Amino acid sequence: MAETLRPERRLLGACARIDQIEQDAELAACVASQFSSVTPEIHLKWNSVENKEGQFWFGPVDRLIAFAQRNGQRVHGHALIWEQSTPDWALHQLRRDGDWGLVERHIHRVMGRYRDVIGDWDVVNEPIDTQNGRNGLRRNTFQQVFGSNYIERALETAHEAAPQARLLLNEYGFEYDNYVEVERRAAFLSLLQRLLDQGVPLHAVGIQAHLDLGKGPIPARDVADFLQAIADMGLAILITELDVKERDYRATIAERDMRVSDEVRRYLDIALTQPAVESVTTWGVTDRHSWLQVERGDQVDPERFGSAAPNRGLPFDSDLRPKPMHVALQDAIGQNQQALRR
Ligand code: G3I
């Protein structure tokens, strides 16, 4: 199993796409110099590696890994089982045949190929759904075909495929004080306890931490207790997808950037007091390539819209200039990143 990092040696990572890095020298330089680990944003997902049945497309993963290795960076394995990134042909076959062998072959193929370079894997992504799920678990094809213990089976299969790997569940929606997130925290903790009671190979959790300026203040005590409960189970914690969704785009750029950065500081002040938290990864690097968009219901000044969009919830702006969020990350974690490279 990979070495557990001491809190003072926390890693700062970012998700990235090799096609964007290859087309953008500034982005490449930024990713290479500012982060100690990279997470493939899409290339490792089932619908990327095998979009058409039997036609494998590992090129982008291989190239991102080569990039990371040239820069002494780690690579985080994201994500083996996630309904949203499972190709239609596989979902169809699973529903038709109910054959776990299909899942097994996928996990073995991907983990087997990268066993020596990727130490940590998001085995199941986003299994929780307290609103429309069953016993807090998301109703997805895997759950409907194999029952709720598809999670156990996926972890066991992953352990067979790469016995040295650290295996994670990766999940969102734990940061705020509303009834949905209260229930999500409880449902996640009971899932973890159930898995550990059964002796299932589970070593760490990914807390996505998609922060949201429309969700009110972060309840420090609740978030700290939640992370402590995970740590008490003996699991390591990785913050895997940190970013900030803005809701009010009408202020000046400077004000907006401060709001984003303040939220990141507030969250990391809470999260990084927990020694089990060993890394922080942002879900993207620059607003130039951000998955976060202005959404219906957001507050937008029509006259300012053109220059004010897009969302500014990542550490670098569209011109790759560092923003206050970058400073917040540096203050919380970023020093000594060069020393952490392999
Ligand atoms: O590459 C194809 C392109 O050929 C095609 O024309 C186009 C048409 O839709 O799709 C392109 O693929 C898109 C891909 O991103 C690359 O741009 C997919 O549709 C789109 O679904 C995919 O979105 C990614 C999403 O996960 C689903 O895989 C986002 O970039 C990525 O940021 C997002 O990341 C997720 C994490 O994995 C899990 N947690 C939430 C997070 C944000 O949604």
SS3 of 151-202: HHHHHHHHHHHCCCCEEEEEECCCCCCCHHHHHHHHHHHHHHHHHHHCCCCC
Angle at 15 (CA atoms; ends 12, 17), nearest 5 degrees: 140
Specify the pLDDT at position 310.
81
**Any idea which residue has 């569940």 for tokens?**
169
CATH code given to domain 7-242+264-289: 3.20.20.80
Phi, psi values for residue 105, rounded to 5°: -65, -40
In the chain, the DSSP E strands lie at: 11-16, 37-40, 74-77, 118-125, 166-171, 204-207, 210-212, 236-245, 277-282
Q: Determine which residue's CA is closest to atom 22 belonging to ligand 1.
A: 42
Q: State in Å: Cα 41 to ligand 1 middle.
A: 8
Q: State in Å: Cα 183 to ligand 1 middle.
A: 27
Atom of ligand 1 nearest to the CA of 15: 32
Q: Determine which residue's CA is closest to atom 16 belonging to ligand 1.
A: 42
Helix, strand, or coil (residue 242): strand
Q: State in Å: Cα 124 to ligand 1 middle.
A: 17
* Dist. CA 333–CA 270, nearest whole Å: 13
Q: State in Å: Cα 294 to ligand 1 middle.
A: 17
Q: Determine which residue's CA is closest to atom 2 belonging to ligand 1.
A: 48
Phi, psi values for residue 29, rounded to 5°: -65, -40
Q: What is the pLDDT along the chain (342 residues), one digit of tens a residue?
A: 444 444 457 999 999 999 999 999 999 999 999 999 999 999 999 999 999 999 999 999 999 999 999 999 999 999 999 999 999 999 999 999 999 999 999 999 999 999 999 999 999 999 999 999 999 999 999 999 999 999 999 999 999 999 999 999 999 999 999 999 999 999 999 999 999 999 999 999 999 999 999 999 999 999 999 999 999 999 999 999 999 999 999 989 999 999 999 999 999 999 999 999 999 999 999 999 999 988 888 998 777 665 556 899 999 999 999 999 999 999 998 655 656 665
Cβ neighbour number for residue 135 with a 10 Å cutoff: 10
- For CA atoms 206, 210, 215, 219, give the dihedral sign: positive
* Dist. CA 257–CA 267, nearest whole Å: 16
* Dist. CA 82–CA 86, nearest whole Å: 6
Specify the pLDDT at position 199.
98
